[in-house]
Amino acid sequence: MPTAFIVSFILFFWFNDAQAREVKSLLELRQKNVVVQKYDLSCGAAALATLFNYQHNDPIAERDIAIGLMSRAEYIKNPLIVRIREGFSLLDLKRFAEARGYQGMGYGKLSLKNLVEKAPIIVPINLKGYNHFVVFRGMYGNRVLLADPAWGNRTMLIRTFMESWLESPKLGKIGFVVNRGDGAAPATHHLVPSLDEFVMLQ
């Protein structure tokens, strides 16, 4: 068989195989199924939007949630409260979720095992001195997977995560889930992690 024919044959199948595979950039992979925040103090709104969009198939923008949260009387009277508190509270997120027809459930005294069972679940963490909301998606080996509104999908060593996970003086380690108001299962499973997602170690 002529060498030129063999080379052409290999190139033909390589080219067609390359066309069949979808190629995504690292940025696209990082931001897949995560609402990335566009404003300094809106991580709570973006984390909530991530659950609405990718757990419940309920399209809503971070901006719309932030505007809804800011419409409360206390924020209208004093908009600087958001900056003083470094963002919105879990109670704010609960009120918004319930006004949209969902059941917002806050939990206290949580363990890492509880998070895995309840995932996806919004948790407050402190990174580099800043309080921040992320969506805990799952755990594999010595890492957890987070949908981080400030970054996108990222993994973190369990030890680092546990040190960062904020603790309430009365309630211990806390988290917040959003369930459908009718008790039905989530509409989608986009936030259920796959093993190949545990790569963005930070």
Give the whole-angstrom CA distance, residue 28 versus residue 19: 18
Q: Which two tokens stand for residue 45?
A: 């709104």
Q: Which two tokens stand for residue 115?
A: 């998070």
| Residue 103: count of CB within 10 angstroms of its CB | 14
Hey, is 127 helix, strand or coil?
A: strand
Which residues are known to be catalytic? 43
Give the whole-angstrom CA distance, residue 37 versus residue 169: 28
Give the whole-angstrom CA distance, residue 22 versus residue 87: 38
| DSSP H helices in the chain | 3-20, 26-31, 43-54, 62-70, 73-77, 81-84, 90-99, 112-118, 158-164
Pairing of strands 175-180, 172-173: unpaired
Give the whole-angstrom CA distance, residue 26 versus residue 63: 25
Closest listed residue to residue 162, CA positions, set 98, 107, 116, 199:
116
